[in-house]
Amino acid sequence: MSLEFVEHPATGEHKATVIWLHGLGDSGDGFLPVASQLSLPAELGVKFVFPHAPVQPVTINGGMTMRSWYDIKSMDLDKRADEAGVRESAAKVEQLIEQELNDGINANKIILAGFSQGGVISLHLAPRLPQKLAGVMALSTYMCVPEKFTAEAKQTNLNVFMAHGRHDDVVPHSAGRSAFDVLSAHNMDVSWQDYPMAHQVCGEELMAIRQWLIARLS
């Protein structure tokens, strides 16, 4: 079943697309206001797509059902991302990318972004795609099966924007740095930003995201 989503249309002609994945228990509506806040130049023609994760039981939350890109069985970082669930959601997000390609948007005008759980999917999928995207935005996140990255990644020199809170008590700052190290070792064009915040997005970070998006999509 394909993912449902909300979108923020491009101003004028549609020339580029940002697909932005939310975190655990949120929905596409959670990040929808960010599209307006970024106020990207109209001439870039950027459409934002905010998919909703499937509703499923989450083990660490007592099996309660909520929007989740994959099950979380343990808070231990090496076991936190359910690999089968990550791959399943990544395949669904890939369908959204294929839809943009079919609509005439070039891969070099598509950004895949994600916060926390959504960032795990973004970091997993983009390097494994046959087409090289304009970039990946990985916010307050970590990596699923880093030990399989070298064998499975099809892209090198992919541009990755990473940002993390120095006081993140949900996804440790060190987990983000570990993902950064894996990407760097694979010759990705990866940048790192951190901020004096918890597991969230701050205004200074949004300004950096805005500048990065303009640079990648101009």
Where the chain has pLDDT below 50, the residues are: none
**What's the pLDDT at 190?**
98
**What's the pLDDT at 80?**
83
Rounded to two decimals, the pTM is 0.97
Catalytically annotated residue among 14, 52, 173, 199: 199
**What's the pLDDT at 198?**
98
**What's the pLDDT at 74?**
84
pLDDT tens profile 156-170: 899 999 999 999 999
Would residue 167 show up in a list of annotated catalytic residues for this protein? Answer: no
Q: What distances in angstroms separate CA 67 from CA 36, 57, 125, 144, one per listed residue?
A: 24, 9, 19, 19
In whole angstroms, give the CA distance from residue 184 to residue 181.
5
**What's the pLDDT at 1?**
81
In whole angstroms, give the CA distance from residue 92 to residue 171.
24
Catalytically annotated residue among 27, 116, 122, 140: 116
Contact 51, 144 (CB under 8 A): no
Would residue 199 show up in a list of annotated catalytic residues for this protein? Answer: yes
In whole angstroms, give the CA distance from residue 208 to residue 139.
12
**What's the pLDDT at 76?**
80
